[in-house]
Amino acid sequence: MLRPAQSLMLPARSPASVFHLIEGGVDITVEGRTFELAEADTCCAPGYAPIALRNRSANSPSFVFIADETPLHRKLGVYEVRP
């Protein structure tokens, strides 16, 4: 959940990520390119990409489902977070 007008910066990590917007409106910036998601939109980001999420609404929360390959990367011993 992103609170109204909340922004969240995710670190660059080895797994790729998939974002699915359940409710609200969110801007996702991946490697300097911004995508505007509306309800039921899905977006993906490659591994090692810095990702920024921003709730466009100043009044309502947005709900984003995030799935990634973290368990697989940890099992294989290749999980990495870059500063």
Domain coordinates in residue numbering, the chain:
7-82
Give tens-digit pLDDT for 39-66: 999 999 999 999 999 999 999 999 999 9
- Domain range 7-82, CATH class: mainly beta
d(CA 5, CA 50) in angstroms, rounded, equals 20
- What would the pLDDT profile of 10-29 be if each residue is shown by its tens digit? 999 999 999 999 999 999 99
- Confidence band for 83, pLDDT divided at 50, 70 and 90: confident
d(C-alpha 48, C-alpha 38), whole Å: 25
- Amino acid identity of residue 49, one-letter, is A
Question: Model pTM greater than 0.85?
Answer: yes
Is residue 70 over pLDDT 90? yes
